Amino acid sequence: MKYRIRDIENFVATSSCRTIVEASTKLEISQPALSESLKRLETDAGTILFYRSRTGIELTASGRVFLGKAQILLRTLTELEFPDSDKALFAGRSITIGCHTTVAQYTIPKALRHIRSAAPDYRVELRHDLSRNIQLGIQRGTIDVGIVINPVPNPDLVIQKLATDTVTVWQGKGAVDKDTVIANTELFQTQSIFKKWKSKPGKVIQTDSLELICSMVNENLGLGVIPSRAVSASGFKLKPVADLPSYSDEICLVYRPEFGRNPAEKLVIEGIKQSLKF
């Protein structure tokens, strides 16, 4: 075979990075050595895998196709290895889990605790972004598996509903400033609630941090549009405002069909599922 396994491993690791410098640090090799490895792989593949610019790197269309095939190849090679013990499931391989930072607070610690109990050699990388971007990363192959809120149906992905959540309006326990609402106005859930909220306050404080919204509502700086699970994760004793609109979310496990075939991947899927059980 004309390809070098190390070059393919370097390519897969680099695909989740924004720059060659970031990737070389992650791989613990020099930048020139990594650049040479990637150029050699592009020569072997007969195509350009990365767009390179002053701002960083990005996979080309050919690169995204090659990435999917490369990940399948590396998983297959991992399955050929015989671990030293039944506790060495990951065999040096890292699995990338993606989810929103707030979702991570109430899922990732529990998931990793479950994974660690069965595989002390576990290795994971965490990627945080809006759910729509996490799903896009899974489609492109830069994220292995994700916890996605209200994913868009896609025939190329496995989507499993794990739990539900309710987005509604919350308040603190003191003298609340009811003339102010604090929310991430870019979220569809917030927009839906605002449309149905007949007497919505005129003053809106915009932030994309659900943790900050919880904190500000706890300080009685206004009403907050927040998912119920985010409130629980915050630890604040907030209470929902009666008779105001709400929005129901679906919390789903999302991954590509080729994921979940070896013991390590199956364990990660099980760990995520366990994290959302009460």
Mean pLDDT of the residues in the chain: 90
pLDDT mean over 180-193: 94
- pLDDT at residue 84 greater than cutoff 80: no
pLDDT score at 4: 85
pLDDT score at 29: 84
CB atoms within 10 A of CB 217: 28
pLDDT score at 81: 62
pLDDT score at 83: 55
- pLDDT at residue 163 greater than cutoff 60: yes
pLDDT score at 94: 87
Contact 140, 64 (CB under 8 A): yes
Q: How far apart are CA 252 and CA 277, in angstroms?
A: 13
- CATH topology assigned to domain 164-250: D-Maltodextrin-Binding Protein; domain 2 (3.40.190)
- CATH topology assigned to domain 1-80: Arc Repressor Mutant, subunit A (1.10.10)
Judged by average pLDDT, the poorest of 77-91, 121-135, 164-178, 249-263 is 77-91
Contact 59, 15 (CB under 8 A): yes
Q: How far apart are CA 195 and CA 71, in angstroms?
A: 44
Contact 168, 225 (CB under 8 A): yes
Please report which confidence band the pLDDT of residue 54 belongs to, taking 50, 70 and 90 as the band edges: confident
- pLDDT at residue 124 greater than cutoff 60: yes
- pLDDT at residue 187 greater than cutoff 60: yes
Please report which confidence band the pLDDT of residue 55 belongs to, taking 50, 70 and 90 as the band edges: confident
pLDDT mean over 145-162: 94
pLDDT score at 85: 54
Q: What are the backbone dihedrals phi and psi of residue 139, each rounded to the nearest 5 degrees, phi first?
A: -60, -40
Left if phi > 0, otherwise alpha if psi is -120 to 50, otherwise beta: which for 222?
left
- pLDDT at residue 87 greater than cutoff 70: no
- pLDDT at residue 224 greater than cutoff 60: yes
3-state secondary structure of 171: strand
pLDDT mean over 28-46: 89
Please report which confidence band the pLDDT of residue 79 belongs to, taking 50, 70 and 90 as the band edges: low
- pLDDT at residue 212 greater than cutoff 90: yes
Q: What are the backbone dihedrals phi and psi of residue 220, each rounded to the nearest 5 degrees, phi first?
A: 60, 35
pLDDT score at 73: 86
pLDDT score at 39: 92
pLDDT score at 76: 79
pLDDT score at 140: 82
pLDDT score at 75: 80
Domain boundaries, the chain: 1-80, 164-250
Q: What is the pTM of this model?
A: 0.69
pLDDT mean over 181-206: 94
pLDDT score at 1: 54
